[in-house]
Amino acid sequence: MKKIFTIIILLSTIIPAPAQQEVKRPKLVVGLVMDQMRWDYLYRYYNRYSETGGFKRMLNEGFACENTYIPYAPTVTACGHSSIYTGSVPAINGITGNYWWDNEQMRSVYCTEDKTVNTVGSNSSQGKMSPRNMLVTTICDELRLATNFKSKVIGVAIKDRGGILTAGHSANAAYWYDNSVGNWITSTYYMNELPKWAADFNNQKIVDQYYEKGWSLLYPENSYLQSTSDEKAYESKPFGTKFPYTMKNFAGKDYGKITSTPMGNSITIEFAKAALTAEQLGADNITDFLAVSFSSPDYIGHTFGPNSIESEDGFLRLDKELGDFLDFLDTKVGKGEYTVFLTADHGAAHVPEFMQENNLPGGRVFMSTVTGNLNKLLNEKYRINNIIVSDENYQIHLNHPALDSAGLNKSDIIDRIINSLLTVPGIDRAFALNDLNKIPLPSTIKNMLSNGYYPRRNGDIQFILKPNYIDAWNNTGTTHGLWNPYDSHIPLIWYGWGIRKGKTNRDTYMTDIAPTIGALLHVQMPNGNVGQVITEVLQ
């Protein structure tokens, strides 16, 4: 018996333990968010996109979700970026706009502002930012948790909110562009000084090099058949009246102008490449995440409109640069070793005057004038200044402390405001947000407004504009923010490791992106997630 026991012990030391199988994941996930890209841009310019460019390559070799929608309103940048990466909606993640009115502080709050941190990379205040106003985790946070924080996560965007809200709370870094000095910066939330590679990048002053080249059309002007003529009265003119745009005079002086050109995309890609190389993203078997947002399509779209030569040229150039970026990933990470998704945070309305000159409905509503006039009328009636304190995010916010002090009946004031709003040409509906579930509205619109409603950061009255009417500040350009398909129908393409080839025409949603990545990586979905896995995408 003793011998048998000894033999068993010896065998147990000789026979190896079963090999542990690792969870299969790509080396790198790259999220590409186009700030202001309507879904139809994929096909509006399809025949002009390069065969080696990014859009055709992803469409033809990846998986396209052709009917992807934003499930909330307002459809603006901060909400879009946070919802893509959290799988959530503003009603849960708390990011209810780029700005929102805070009743406790009695002021407008910026989505990523953080007075407890300081700028790293410049002497301006543009780095006093962090993700602390976002109430939930992102898929990047969940990847970090799943790997015991061994995965590296970096966010990059010209807009601070595009880099910060995507990378999440636990990111190794987020970087954004300081337009006061032309540097890429971050905040002390992430680090106390820029890494050498980032400082070296800034020292090159690439912005001035771009300014020296200026902005010329990629192709002959007469080939831009999908666009209006170059000079339109309803386009803004930050660089002059027509192509080519000379920009040498901005060098060393105005570092913000580059954001409204395709060169803003160029510098974003170059910085993202530098980050990937220096931080060795995708260099080992622990999955990393690079979240890149391209802010310039939004600046170009607001300035010139969806039907401008500027917008078309911007996307044709971006297509080529995305193709080069995919080639870069093939070389640095390895072909078939990374996964990419491409989407947008919102679309945009056609310029109202473009619609009008083509006998289509559309117009401008100058809400700052509307609320200014309303405040005058309310002051005459109630002897209180500034009863309306904000009209941000298509909502009217009331001065509750002043109304409470005066002991006024808020319901009467709300009714008075609503009745006045309904007389404004271009305003389709107006109602008290407390009555949202009682108002007869199509379910799609009602659900979107409900998904955008977080009580502490929302107003008292909701107004909805007529289709292709915009909340305008001046008589040029366009904007976005409402429920309509031109604002809410966005592209979504998947490409690379673990992705099937094909497409689906069924309805999918922005909030489905994060849980689909979670399923791909075998990690938990974000803790505010309401989306569903798009099973057709995964191999």
* pLDDT tens digits, one per residue of 250-305: 999 999 999 999 999 999 999 999 999 999 999 999 999 999 999 999 999 999 99
**Quick one: pLDDT at residue 104?**
87
Instruction: Please tell me which residue in 6, 52, 68, 77 is annotated as part of the active site.
Output: 77
Instruction: Confirm if 527 and 136 have CB atoms less than 8 A apart.
Output: yes
Reported as a single tens digit per residue, the pLDDT across 180-201 is 999 999 999 999 999 999 999 9
Predicted pLDDT at 21: 62
Residue 248 and residue 100 share a domain: yes
CB atoms within 10 A of CB 61: 13
Q: What distance, in Å, lies between the first and last C-alpha atoms of the chain? A: 54
The values of phi and psi at residue 288, to 5°, are -110, 170
Same domain for 202 and 335? yes
Q: List residues bridging with 471 in a β-sheet.
A: 365
Question: Do 60 and 152 share a domain, yes or no?
Answer: yes
Same domain? 322 vs 416: no
Q: Is there a single domain that holds both residue 403 and residue 515?
A: no
Does residue 206 form part of some domain? yes
Q: CA 10 to CA 2: how far, in whole Å? A: 13
Do residues 80 and 346 lie in contact, with contact meaning Cβ atoms separated by under 8 Å?
A: yes
Pairing of strands 502-509, 63-69: parallel
Contact in structure between 306 and 313 (CB atoms under 8 Å): no
Q: Do residue 496 and residue 512 come from a single domain?
A: yes
Residues 108 and 64 in one domain: yes
CA dist., res. 90 & res. 111, Å (int)? 12
Q: Rounded distance, CA 396 to CA 417, Å?
A: 9
Asked if residue 313 belongs to a domain, the reply is yes
- 460 and 503 in a common domain: no
What pLDDT sits at residue 9? 44
Q: What is the pLDDT of residue 10?
A: 43
- Residue 430: strand pairing partners: 463
Q: Is residue 257 part of a domain?
A: yes
Would you say residue 31 lies in a domain? no
Query: What residues contact residue 67 under an 8 Å CB cut-off, 6+ apart?
Result: 489, 504, 505, 506, 507, 508
Specify if 397 maps to a domain.
yes
Q: 226 lies in a domain?
A: yes
- Residue 190 tokens read as 């992430």
**CA 5 to chain centroid:** 66
Domain around 76: 45-356+485-537
6 is a domain residue:
no
Tally of domains in the chain: 2
C-alpha separations of 21 from 24, 91, 157, 434, 524 in Å: 9, 40, 37, 54, 19
Active site residue 77: yes
Q: Look up residue 465 and give its amino acid.
A: L
The two tokens of residue 298 are 């939004």
The CATH number that applies at residue 428 is 3.30.1360.150
The candidate with the shortest Cα–Cα distance to 162, out of 283, 35, 70, 2, is 35
Matching residue, tokens 């050498």: 196
- Do residues 276 and 423 both lie within one domain? no
CA distance 145 to 262: 36
Residue 344's φ and ψ, nearest 5 degrees, are -140, 160
* Cβ atoms of 165 and 85 closer than 8 Å: yes
Same domain, 369 and 349: no
- Maximal C-alpha separation, the chain: 104
| DSSP H helix total and E strand total for the chain | 19, 19
Q: Which residues contact 125 (CB under 8 A, 6 or more apart)?
A: 119
The answer to whether residue 55 is domain-embedded is: yes
CATH number of the domain residue 83 falls in: 3.40.720.10
Residues 388 and 346 in one domain: no
User: What is the C-alpha to C-alpha distance for residues 495 and 100, in angstroms, rounded to an integer?
Assistant: 36
What's the helix, strand, coil split of the chain in %, to 5? Answer: 40, 20, 40
Report, as ranges of residue numbers, the positions in the chain whose pLDDT lies below 70: 1-21
Q: Are residues 342 and 370 in the same domain?
A: no
Q: What are 206's two structure tokens?
A: 């690439």
